[in-house]
């Protein structure tokens, strides 16, 4: 376990120019000068990152934070790249990172901090009280089993330390970052002491582990509880937390190999959890009539998705669904017409008042589209088209993490 290290504000700047031609020699893209760029009137931000399906690319590609204005115009901030990047936005500014630095973009400009780390990100959260940001990165297999990294970034620098396990799903509970791992790394042996934590179908399969990742306990994560589920293949990176309880949708197999679609409430205080099967208003499993089980993993929601005891989420067919946490009863709310499938992908960003959706189409031509809905009524408020990015940068760049202003 490495000890935390504090890294100071970097003097060097990322390489960027006011405009450049695309990799294929096409139209110009508006890449901002990092020394003068400001947050300005940005209404939506998202990270464009090269496709990670290529195992060994010939050369390392940059990535871009895209700042979108209300009229669809964009400014891009070039970075050294991050696989599956995530961003977070608070009144302190917009946080993003690459494998060499952390960044906070505010109304006064761009702050840059040296912080060399793994090049694959799991999550990013804004800490309460505008006290900074906390993010998780996937360092990969290690001598101990599997290792992630946690970075804490404030206005003065970044703190980086390792945690044992692979925490795909994360929740911020009143300033405490908790992670749920399907690969528990060095902790796996401990689960053998607890009944029900081994699959009868696949003895080597690992149960889920809930740990406190930040603040660190004597420089290490704190294992909190285990959940005897296996083959849990779909996870949203950011999930809600209310009063120390984390609600999330779960698609898994039990110890006997039986599949389940449920909504889980996991208490970070005592480690206990409850779960309810996902059913429609007639009590039938949602996979019978309401949702195509083959596309369930393409759902989208985030840490602000809970409202009035219900978890809201974007289904692959474009409908906003609402699941009552206490009962599992799931109803469709309204249709956004943003479908996810082999040709397109959509993600949802929730605020107290709005639901923002971003859709990209994988044809190299269709503009990225952004819709804002009134969360209470489901009415469409605004729609923005962001043209040209695929033509200018290349179709291999995909929309990853996205964020909107806190008051949006």
How far apart are alpha carbons 174 and 129 in whole angstroms? 10
Secondary structure element (H or E) that encloses residue 114, with its range: strand 109-114
Its pTM stands at 0.91
- How is 70-94 classified by DSSP, letter by letter? TTS-EEEEEES--BS---EEETTEE
Peptide bond before residue 124 is cis, with ω within 30 degrees of 0: no
Beta bridge partners of 16: none
| CA 156 from centre of chain | 25
CB 98 within 8 A of CB 132: no
Secondary structure element (H or E) that encloses residue 216, with its range: strand 208-217
pLDDT by residue for the chain (408 residues), tens digit each?
333 333 333 333 333 323 333 344 334 679 999 999 999 999 999 999 986 655 555 577 899 999 999 999 999 999 999 999 999 999 999 999 999 999 999 999 999 999 999 999 999 999 999 999 999 999 999 887 899 999 999 999 999 999 999 999 999 999 999 999 999 999 999 999 999 999 999 989 999 999 999 999 888 999 999 999 999 976 799 999 999 999 999 999 999 999 999 999 999 999 999 999 999 999 999 999 999 999 999 999 999 999 999 999 999 999 999 999 999 999 999 999 999 999 999 999 999 999 999 999 999 899 999 999 999 999 999 999 999 898 888 788 999 999 999 989
CB 371 within 8 A of CB 327: no
CA atoms 158, 167, 77, 382: torsion sign: negative
């Amino acid at each position: 376990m490495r000890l935390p290290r504090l890294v100071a504000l970097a003097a060097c700047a990322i390489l960027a120019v006011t405009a450049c031609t695309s990799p294929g020699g096409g139209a110009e893209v508006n890449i901002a000068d990092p020394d003068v760029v400001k947050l300005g009137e940005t209404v939506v931000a998202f990270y464009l990152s090269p496709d990670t399906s290529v195992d060994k690319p010939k050369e390392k590609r940059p990535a871009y934070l895209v700042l979108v204005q209300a009229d669809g115009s964009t400014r891009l901030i070039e970075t050294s790249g991050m696989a599956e990047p995530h961003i977070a936005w608070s009144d302190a500014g917009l946080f993003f990172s690459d494998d060499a630095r952390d960044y906070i973009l505010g109304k006064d400009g761009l702050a840059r901090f040296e912080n060399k780390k793994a090049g694959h990100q799991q999550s990013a959260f804004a800490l309460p009280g505008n006290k900074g940001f906390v993010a998780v990165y996937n360092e990969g297999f290690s001598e101990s089993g599997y290792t992630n990294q946690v970075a804490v970034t404030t206005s003065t620098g970044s703190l980086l330390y390792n945690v044992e396990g692979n925490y795909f799903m994360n929740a911020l509970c009143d300033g405490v970052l908790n992670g749920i791992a399907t690969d528990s790394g060095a902790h796996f042996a401990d689960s053998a002491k607890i009944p029900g934590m081994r699959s009868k179908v696949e003895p080597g399969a690992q149960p889920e582990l809930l740990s406190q990742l930040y603040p660190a306990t004597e420089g290490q994560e704190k294992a909190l509880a285990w959940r005897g589920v296996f083959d849990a293949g779909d996870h949203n990176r950011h999930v809600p937390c209310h009063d120390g309880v984390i609600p999330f949708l779960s698609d898994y197999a039990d110890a006997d190999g039986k599949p389940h679609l449920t909504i889980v409430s996991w208490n970070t205080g005592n480690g206990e959890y409850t779960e309810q099967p996902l059913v429609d208003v007639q009590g039938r499993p949602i996979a019978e009539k309401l949702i195509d089980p083959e596309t369930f993993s393409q759902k989208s929601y985030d840490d602000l998705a809970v409202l009035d005891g219900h978890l809201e989420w974007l289904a692959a067919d474009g409908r906003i669904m609402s699941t009552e946490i206490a009962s599992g009863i799931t109803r469709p709310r309204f249709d956004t017409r943003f479908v996810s499938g082999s040709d397109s992908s959509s993600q949802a960003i929730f605020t107290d008042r709005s639901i923002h959706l971003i859709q990209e189409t994988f044809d190299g031509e269709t503009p990225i589209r952004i819709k804002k809905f009134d969360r209470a009524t489901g009415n469409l408020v605004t729609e923005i088209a962001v043209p040209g990015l695929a033509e200018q940068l290349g179709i291999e760049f995909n929309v990853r993490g996205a964020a909107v202003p806190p008051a949006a």
